[in-house]
Amino acid sequence: MTLTLSAAGRPRIRLNRVGLGLVTVAVLAGCSHTDGPAQRPASTGTSSTAGASDMPSSTPPPVGATYRHVEKLCPVLNLSALAASFGPVTNGRDEVRETGSGTSNMTCSATAGRLPDGIVVVVMATIGAPASGRLMFEGLRGVQDAGPVTDVSGLGAAAYTYSDELTGTHVVTYDNNLYLTIAAAPLRPGAALPRDLVDRLTTVAHTALSGLRD
């Protein structure tokens, strides 16, 4: 994730292009253009129950939960909610970076489906000192100006979603020492995304919290 200045001089959040932009280029190179378009189930509705029958159930984290570092984030995640809408999840890639302050940054990038209707998804988890998740969440939300922010209920200690024309649809949450972001963007630039995508990304976020919980 990078923090840059907009044309108006305000801070502007962008996902690191290694995390999303370059991943998109890499997965596009591996997608077939000759197999014909993949069929994607039609999405319906915009409520939090949309697509509930094909998404794994989740429970909120217990009060006082703490979260741990893992060597690979992808195996911890359950991406079946995305596979049900877009197609099989492939091209999973893990990246881990640790700082001298004891903070661990874990990234999982993958594709769901294929051209023209598939997506690239990037999950980024930062594990730090107790209560560090809230500091990151509040600080970065305060300078986020890519688009309108909408609160997401029932996820972590707090959560919100927004859309960016460059980096796609985002769900951001935190709990205690965990700060988590999920971004999904179409493999074909400009392609429409289903209306229940935020619900599906929220479901993935729940599985991340469960999988990283001590």
Q: DSSP of 103-149, one letter per residue?
A: -EEEEEEEEES-TTT-EEEEEEEEE-STTHHHHHHHHHHHT--SS--
Of 18 and 186, the structure prediction assigns the larger pLDDT to 186
**pLDDT for position 147:** 76
Q: Is the pLDDT of residue 208 over 80?
A: yes
- Contact 198/126 with Cβ under 8 angstroms? no
**pLDDT for position 101:** 82
Across the range 128-142, mean pLDDT stands at 93
- 62 Cβ contact partners less than 8 Å away, ≥ 6 residues apart: none
**pLDDT for position 54:** 62
Q: What are the chain's domains?
A: 10-30+68-212 (3.40.1000)
Expressed in angstroms, the distance from the first to the final Cα of the chain is: 25
Average pLDDT over all residues of the chain: 79
> pLDDT for 62-85, tens place per residue?
556 999 999 999 999 999 999 999
- CB neighbour class for 120 (10 Å; exposed up to 12, middle 13-18, buried from 19): buried
- 204 Cβ contact partners less than 8 Å away, ≥ 6 residues apart: 77, 78, 79, 81, 82, 121, 123, 182
Give residue 113's identity as a one-letter amino acid code. Answer: G
Q: Is the pLDDT of residue 37 over 70?
A: no
Q: Worst-scoring range by mean pLDDT, 23-32, 134-143, 153-162?
A: 23-32
Confidence band of 56 (pLDDT split at 50, 70, 90): low
pLDDT above 90 covers a percentage of the chain that reads 60
Q: Is the pLDDT of residue 140 over 80?
A: yes
Q: Worst-scoring range by mean pLDDT, 54-63, 73-82, 91-100?
A: 54-63
Of 59 and 115, the structure prediction assigns the larger pLDDT to 115
Q: Is the pLDDT of residue 129 over 60?
A: yes
178-186 and 168-175: which strand pairing?
antiparallel
